[in-house]
């Protein structure tokens, strides 16, 4: 379940309470009149079944609660309550499959910031991958995949496409557009310095480095694996299955491909350089395409659930318009 803490103005509190109290998927409603101070208003606490969280939140936003107040969400790990069990049973679907869209938007918004920390992780992941490719070390390459933060902006871009959020799309694109070139550039310069210092050999052969050979020769399986990883990653993000995200990060070769671009350029291996660019492009495009497709399917299910909810009696009791009331208003003759 999801715990809601709602700060609401006194003029909207009664309607919000009516909405929550009449919803079968909501329980444990607590009303604290006059307890909010900044802004002044009332506080309402409630628990809502995860499957119905987004439709209830959309109703609260329709009431304008967020305009001069606030709605906070907190997942409930454990709750012992028969009422809560009945609320979950009333909400259609499985809690494990439920998507709280406000949660997804907030999570992706936090992960697409073009910050110093994001760029530092991109550079460090690229350097780890470069050493792993040079030493043909799977441990270092896997470590670089886990360290790389690039899935956050990719997921943000998918959410932006589905939600039609131009600002989120631009922020995600900016993070990727700056992060990957910086990673490649630092790997290129570092490789030249290590060559000059005698740490790296003067020559680099793909035949002696199996991982570099794989990265530089993308094929259909490159697309297939990246698409599967993109779909799994978006499912992990949207359904709060964070454990699966680690598997996603070590399934795609975005960071190793970027590192190999810089490494190959430093060794002037232009064939490997072109192959690595293709590998990176295929991975990025496949992840975005698959992730967007998964979100589109989930969004379609939510839109259908939301359309059914618009006729629920609790909306009418709270004074919110329903499809029936809208149709009546449109058909009423003007005087």
33 & 138 share domain: no
Residues 258 and 109 in one domain: yes
d(CA 179, CA 121): 9
Nearest CA to 16 among 70, 82, 92?
Answer: 70
Identify whether the C-beta of residue 168 lies closer than 8 Å to the C-beta of residue 158: no
Same domain, 66 and 109: no
Residue 38 inside a domain? The answer is: yes
Over range 3-14, report the average pLDDT: 92
pLDDT tens-place string over residues 287-306: 999 999 999 998 888 888 88
Residues 218 and 248 in one domain: yes
**pLDDT at residue 322, as a whole number:** 65
Residues 91 and 208 in one domain: no
What is the tens place of the pLDDT at every residue in 277-286? Answer: 999 999 999 9
- Residues in Cβ contact with 294 at an 8 Å cutoff, skipping those fewer than 6 apart: 230, 231, 234, 235, 238
Task: Specify whether 91 is located in the same domain as 108.
Answer: no
Please identify, among 73, 98, 123, the residue that sits at the C-terminal boundary of a domain.
98
Same domain, 109 and 256: yes
Same domain, 185 and 244: yes
Residue 329 has pLDDT above 60, yes or no: no
Cβ–Cβ < 8 Å for 49, 3: no
Q: Are residues 198 and 158 in the same domain?
A: yes
Q: Distance (Å, rounded) from C-alpha 328 to C-alpha 69?
A: 32
Q: Where residue 163 sits, what CATH number does that domain have?
A: 1.20.1080
Q: What is the mean pLDDT of residues 214-226?
A: 88
How much is the pTM? 0.81
Number of structural domains in the chain: 2
Task: Give me the domain span that covers residue 241.
Answer: 104-303
Highest mean pLDDT among 4-13, 181-190, 310-319: 181-190
Inside any domain, residue 331: no
Q: Give percent of the chain above pLDDT 70.
A: 88
The last residue of a domain, from among 51, 69, 98: 98
Residue 207 zone, left/alpha/beta (φ > 0; ψ -120 to 50; rest) = alpha
- Residues 123-170 have pLDDT tens digits of 999 999 999 999 988 899 989 998 989 988 998 999 999 988 889 899
Same domain, 167 and 272: yes
Highest mean pLDDT pick, 141-150, 174-183, 218-227? 174-183
Biggest CA-to-CA distance, the chain: 91
How many whole angstroms from its chain centre is CA 110? 9
Q: Is residue 84 part of a domain?
A: yes
Residue 246 lies in a domain: yes
For residue 251, being part of any structural domain is answered with yes
Residue 315, domain member (yes or no): no
What is the domain-level CATH number for residue 90?
3.30.70.120
Give the residue from 81, 13, 77 showing the smallest Cα distance to 42: 13
pLDDT higher than 50, residue 327 = no
Looking at the structure, tell me whether residues 91 and 119 fall in a common domain.
Answer: no
Query: Is residue 324, in this structure, part of any structural domain at all?
Result: no
Tell me: pLDDT of 120 over 70.
yes
Residue 322 maps to a domain: no
Please indicate, yes or no, whether residues 70 and 33 belong to a single structural domain of this protein: yes
Residue with tokens 């671009």, as numbered in its chain:
261
CA-to-CA dists, residue 150 to 86, 113, 229, 232, 308, angstroms: 41, 11, 13, 15, 37
Among 72, 98, 124, the domain boundary falls at 98
Across residues 101-107, what is the average pLDDT? Answer: 81
């Amino acid at each position: 379940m999801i715990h809601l803490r709602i700060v609401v103005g006194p003029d909207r509190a009664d309607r919000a309470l009516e909405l929550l109290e009449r919803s079968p998927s909501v329980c444990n409603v607590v009303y604290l009149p006059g307890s909010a101070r900044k802004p002044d208003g009332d506080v309402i606490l409630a628990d809502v079944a995860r499957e119905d969280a987004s439709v209830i939140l959309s109703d609260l936003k329709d009431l304008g609660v967020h305009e001069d107040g606030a709605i906070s969400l907190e997942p409930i790990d454990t709750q012992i309550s028969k009422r809560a069990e009945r609320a979950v049973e009333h909400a259609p679907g499985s809690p494990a499959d439920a998507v709280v869209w406000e949660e997804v938007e907030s999570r992706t918004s936090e992960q697409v910031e073009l910050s110093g920390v994001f760029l530092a992780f991109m550079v460090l992941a690229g350097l780890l991958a470069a050493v792993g490719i040079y030493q043909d070390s799977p441990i270092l390459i896997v470590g670089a995949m886990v360290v790389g933060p690039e899935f956050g902006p990719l997921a943000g871009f998918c959410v932006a496409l589905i939600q039609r959020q131009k600002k989120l799309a631009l922020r995600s694109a900016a993070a990727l557009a700056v992060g990957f070139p910086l990673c490649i550039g630092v790997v290129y310069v570092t490789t030249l310095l290590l060559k000059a210092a005698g740490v790296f050999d003067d020559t680099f052969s793909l035949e002696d480095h199996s991982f570099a050979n794989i990265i530089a020769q993308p094929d259909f399986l490159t697309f297939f694996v990246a698409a599967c990883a993109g779909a799994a990653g978006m499912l992990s993000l949207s359904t709060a299955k964070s454990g699966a995200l680690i598997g996603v990060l070590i399934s795609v070769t975005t960071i190793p491909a970027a590192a190999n671009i810089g490494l190959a350029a430093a060794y002037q291996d232009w064939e490997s350089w072109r192959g690595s660019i293709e590998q990176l492009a295929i991975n990025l495009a496949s992840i975005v395409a698959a992730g967007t497709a998964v979100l589109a399917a989930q969004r379609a299910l939510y839109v259908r659930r939301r359309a059914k909810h618009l006729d629920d009696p609790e909306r009418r009791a709270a004074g919110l318009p329903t499809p029936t009331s809208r149709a009546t208003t449109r058909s009423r003759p003007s005087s």
